[in-house]
């Protein structure tokens, strides 16, 4: 951590030689720690996590150093930081699923060596922008490949599991009540989910829940496609038609994001593979949306802040989620699973009581705030608001939940939110 801090300060002050010395010192210290640390259940995850966090901070410093408003440098630095966080997030979720399923543990593959080498080359060559851009693209592809490989491993290990018998087919009021039980069991009182996404998902499933072609994993796949489609459409700033299409895709994505979980609970067909894919694809969807929002805001107002704040928000979301999963990997019991606590009430009174939660910037509300920014084109208002809201919420969650996990060691997986 000391070496990472020294490297960050040196990069910020443009003392590249000192920064390279600090990076090399950090690499050597990492190797010493990896070979001499006392083996315990979370040492590999902890070492890898702190190593990744140091590199994330260094990449963000490089992004913030684009004083001239060079959006390519901002995007490259944030892309490297996001990739490191996403890779650690996926690895920690995979680790948790293996432990909860009583599967043989997989070694925690430490990251950072290639990224260290890339950053050293970037500084040694005098900070050429193409090198940083190529490193960012490589890191994104690397994180995606690691995540896909982990999903493939989970799918292979789960294919021979015993599938419970399907529940009796229900119709009318009985189906509506079971769907309501699933919604309340989710115990998620977020504003947009309570007011819009969950009710619309429940209405959709009232008509389609018994259709054999509709499965949770297929819904997740369509949801991811809608999210990336919205991100691509967002990159064309002056098209009213594409803006409307983006808003529609964001709305569909928010409903589908609730619908896959509701269907899995309704049919009692949840799987480890589905859980992993749902969590990890959310991370990459956030990265795509916030990256596209940064480019859209920068096109409307070509300043460093407009590009940096949305991209930083995407990195911060994944970083805070990674920190929470790392806290669980260190101290919580991985074999406990399933929802705990009281159920979330339904109905108009519950909705009214949760209206104030719109200021909490919870996960379902991301689509609302991004949609408002696009619909109004007031990026000068919504971009700083979104960034400040995410940072404040992330800090509060990290302090309260991580502290609770370390003190009790009994948090359930349902309480570890992204």
What's the pLDDT tens digit per position in 88-142? 899 889 988 888 888 877 666 665 677 888 888 888 888 888 999 999 999 999 9
**Yes or no: domain 37-158+168-415 corresponds to CATH 3.40.640.10:** no
Structure tokens at 328: 């669980």
Distance (Å, rounded) from C-alpha 126 to C-alpha 372? 41
For the chain, give every domain's residue range: 37-158+168-415
Distance (Å, rounded) from C-alpha 66 to C-alpha 304? 7
Distance (Å, rounded) from C-alpha 416 to C-alpha 418? 7
Enumerate residues 6+ apart whose C-beta is below 8 A from 401: 324, 327, 411, 415, 416
Asked whether 194 and 351 are in contact (CB, 8 A), the reply is yes
- What is the structure's pLDDT at 119? 86
Mean model confidence pLDDT for the chain = 80
Structure tokens at 48: 């890898």
What's the pLDDT tens digit per position in 136-193? 999 999 999 999 999 999 988 887 655 555 567 777 888 888 888 777 776 677 788 8
């Amino acid at each position: 951590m000391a070496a990472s801090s020294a490297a960050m300060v040196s990069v910020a002050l443009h003392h590249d030689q000192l920064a390279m010395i600090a990076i090399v010192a950090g690499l050597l210290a990492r190797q010493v720690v990896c070979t001499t640390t006392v083996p315990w259940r979370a040492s590999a995850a902890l070492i890898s996590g702190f190593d990744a966090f140091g590199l994330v901070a260094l990449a963000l410093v490089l992004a913030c150093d684009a004083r001239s408003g060079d959006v390519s440098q901002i995007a490259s630095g944030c892309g490297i930081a996001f990739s490191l966080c996403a890779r650690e997030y996926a690895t920690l979720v995979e680790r948790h699923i293996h432990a909860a399923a009583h599967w043989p543990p997989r070694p925690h593959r430490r990251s950072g060596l290639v990224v260290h080498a890339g950053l050293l080359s970037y500084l040694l060559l005098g900070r050429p922008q193409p090198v940083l851009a190529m490193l960012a693209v490589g890191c994104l592809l690397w994180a995606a490949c690691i995540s896909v490989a982990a999903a493939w491993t989970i799918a292979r290990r789960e294919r021979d599991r015993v599938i419970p018998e399907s529940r009796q087919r229900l119709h009318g009021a009985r189906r509506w009540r079971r769907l309501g039980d699933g919604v309340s069991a989710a115990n998620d009182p977020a504003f947009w989910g309570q007011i819009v996404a969950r009710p619309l998902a429940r209405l959709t499933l009232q008509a389609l829940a018994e259709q054999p072609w509709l499965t949770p994993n297929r819904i997740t796949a369509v949801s991811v496609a809608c999210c990336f489609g919205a991100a691509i459409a967002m990159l064309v700033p002056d098209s009213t038609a594409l803006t409307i299409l983006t808003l529609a895709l964001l709305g569909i994505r928010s409903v589908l994001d609730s619908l896959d979980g509701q269907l899995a609970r309704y049919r009692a067909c949840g799987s480890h593979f589905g859980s992993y894919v749902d969590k990890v694809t959310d991370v990459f969807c956030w990265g795509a949306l916030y990256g596209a929002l940064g480019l859209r805001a920068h096109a409307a107002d070509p300043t460093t802040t407009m590009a940096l704040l949305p991209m930083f928000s995407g990195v911060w979301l994944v970083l805070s989620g990674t920190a929470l999963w790392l806290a669980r990997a260190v101290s919580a019991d991985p074999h406990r699973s399933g929802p705990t606590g009281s159920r979330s009430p339904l109905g108009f009174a519950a909705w009214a009581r949760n209206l104030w939660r719109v200021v909490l910037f919870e996960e379902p509300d991301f689509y609302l705030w991004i949609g408002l920014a696009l619909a109004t084109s007031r990026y000068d208002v919504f971009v700083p608001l979104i960034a400040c809201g995410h940072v404040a919420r992330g800090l509060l969650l990290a302090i309260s939940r991580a502290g609770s996990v370390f003190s009790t060691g009994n948090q359930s997986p349902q309480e570890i939110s992204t």
